[in-house]
Amino acid sequence: MHATTVKNKITQRDNYKEIMSVIVVVLLLTLTLIAMFSAIDQLGISEMGRIARDLTHF
């Protein structure tokens, strides 16, 4: 009985790690997109900047 409890705890910890890594990846991708849109905006391509703003404000 004790062994299964430990195994379940380990499984839960693994799931937690997976969820955390997914969250980290999503955050990094979001930050990258925001950085790209900011860079495009700074370059003065107004049309691209407008599209970027429309995409980020849905």
Q: Please give the angle made by the CA atoms of 13, 18 and 55, to the nearest 5 degrees.
A: 145
How much is the pTM? 0.50
Where residue 2 falls among pLDDT bands split at 50, 70, 90? low
Structure tokens at 36: 């790209």
Mean per-residue pLDDT, 5-20: 82
State the number of CA atoms in the 13 A half-sphere of 32 facing the CB.
6
Q: How confident is the model at residue 5 (pLDDT cuts 50, 70, 90)?
A: confident
Range of the domain at 33: 2-56
Q: What is the pLDDT of residues 16-56, one digit of tens each?
A: 889 999 999 999 999 999 888 887 767 766 666 677 778 77
Neighbouring C-beta atoms of residue 55, cutoff 10 Å: 10
Total domains in the chain come to 1
The C-alpha atoms of residue 23 and residue 29 are separated, in whole angstroms, by: 10
